[in-house]
Structure 1
Amino acid sequence: MVKNIASFITLALTICFILSVSFSSDETVDLSKYSTKGLDLNYTVRDNTNEDFNLLASNESFSPYLGKSFVGFKEALAFKESGGDYFSVNTFGYLGKYQFGKETLRMIGIKNSVKFLKNPKLQERAFIANAERNKWILRRDIKNFVGKRINGIIVTESGILAAAHLAGPGNVKKYLRSYGLDNFADGYGTTVREYMKRFSGYDTSFVKPNKKAKAI
């Protein structure tokens, strides 16, 4: 025991001696050696203001492992609609990454479809505005039908919103209130039921019901 205490004291004294020598040195550090004079300094600092919205309303590349997040929802829907192409126009004249019709664009405040097609951030805002408007229109149906099984599919909020993007909220109401008998299909044969199934179970709590939602 005495031997251990002596070893500890010796070690402590050695450390104190080394520190005292280090701090008592008269040598100074020549900071001029580390000058940044003449260097091309170019830093970009990310602005975190409205970070959540900027993440959702951007054309950045996202990880494919988005799971059932809202970003995962909108990117999966965009891939189904257009392959994620902001500049896509289909044979029926639907526009952009999310394939908007001109009438729907007018309802959310967008009158110039040419400018819309050239503006990815506006397309992202349009998607969110349209989802908010649809969620307000379908708020009672979301409350009444989520969790029920229709045509073999468990109804979820994300499935309802995806189907509303495809077919419009009115056709989704008809589908739900007829318990799947009135199953709208678009020009390519894609049905409300298909979107209900494909986009089931995503987190769409980010979308707030808004009767007057506008993209502009």
Structure 2
Amino acid sequence: MKKRFYFIAVLPVVALLVGTGFNAKTDYDFSSYSIEKSLYSTEGLELNFDVPTETEFVPVTTRKFNLFLGKSFLGFKEALGFKESRGDYHIVNNYGYMGKYQFSRSTLNMMGLKDTENFLYDARQQEAAFSAYTSFNKWVLRKDIKHYAGKTIGGVKVTESGILAAAHLAGPGNVKKFLRSSGENRFSDANGASIRYYMKKFSGYDTSHIVAKRKHKLVG
């Protein structure tokens, strides 16, 4: 009986607490919160927008730029590098020719580069090798350039850049033979590229500033 009495006595108190705890009319004081209303104001803003129709819409296009090197020495160098390897510094062909300009190990050794292991991973060394070898070829062929430039041999107009490109392909000795035999003594590499083809393809580039040098040693 006592337990029942206590339960009945406590029940009204619990009901009162629950009722007051969930009173929907409770007022909250927001005076302590400060909101800068100007940050959210739309006063002075144009809120009416016209959306173009499908026919009015003009798509944004990206302009494409092509680097034009023309007949400069840089154009000559990049054109020859592209022909040799598509400009790939790290390639080795089936015959062991290496890098962007496809040097043989024997040619690199001739220029003083004994260790060719890192050659494929050193673009600066490859560019230095090309410059040194081209200067050397110009020195070897200096008299032939002076004598034959402007003439037509083997159906091709001879130019200095064509001679230097052909020398890169076949060596200066074979270019001499081609020129001095009036194009009869021809050379083709393992891929079928010929002196005549290189002289025609790389004709007319400005290689006049290349200094002819007998010394062509590389450090490495």
Task: Calculate the TM-score normalised by the size of structure 1.
Answer: 0.70
- The CA distance in 2 between the partners of 1:207 and 1:109, in whole Å, is 21
- The CA distance in 2 between the partners of 1:198 and 1:143, in whole Å, is 20
The more displaced of 107-116 and 159-168 is: 107-116
Q: Tell me whether 1:170 sits opposite 2:173 in the alignment.
A: yes
- Structure 1 residue 182 displacement after superposition: 0.7
1:113 to 87, 92, 116: 116
1:201 to 186, 204, 217: 204
Gaps of at least 5 residues in structure 1 are 1-62
Match of 1:31 in 2: none
Query: C-alpha deviations, 1:164-210, integer Å up to 9, x for none?
Result: 00000000000000010011000011100000000000001221110
Report if aligned partners of 1:88, 1:97 keep a CA contact under 8 Å in 2. Answer: yes
Structure with greater proportional helix content: 1
- Structure 1 residue 111 displacement after superposition: 1.2
Task: Give the aligned residue type for 1:170.
Answer: G
Match of 1:122 in 2: 125
Larger Rg: 2
Aligned residue for 2:162, secondary structure, equals helix
Give runs of ≥4 in structure 1 deviating > 6 Å: none
- The CA distance in 2 between the partners of 1:214 and 1:131, in whole Å, is 12
Gaps of at least 5 residues in structure 2 are 1-65
Task: Give the aligned residue type for 2:183.
Answer: G
Report if aligned partners of 1:81, 1:98 keep a CA contact under 8 Å in 2. Answer: yes
Q: Tell me whether 1:211 sits opposite 2:214 in the alignment.
A: yes
Report if aligned partners of 1:82, 1:97 keep a CA contact under 8 Å in 2. Answer: yes
1:134 to 128, 134, 137: 137
What percentage of aligned pairs have identical amino acids? Answer: 59
- Structure 1 residue 64 displacement after superposition: 3.0
Aligned residue for 2:188, secondary structure, equals coil
Aligned residue for 2:77, secondary structure, equals helix
Report if aligned partners of 1:110, 1:116 keep a CA contact under 8 Å in 2. Answer: no
- The CA distance in 2 between the partners of 1:98 and 1:110, in whole Å, is 15
Aligned residue for 2:150, secondary structure, equals coil
Cα-Cα RMSD:
1.2
Task: Calculate the TM-score normalised by the size of structure 2.
Answer: 0.69
- Structure 1 residue 215 displacement after superposition: 3.0
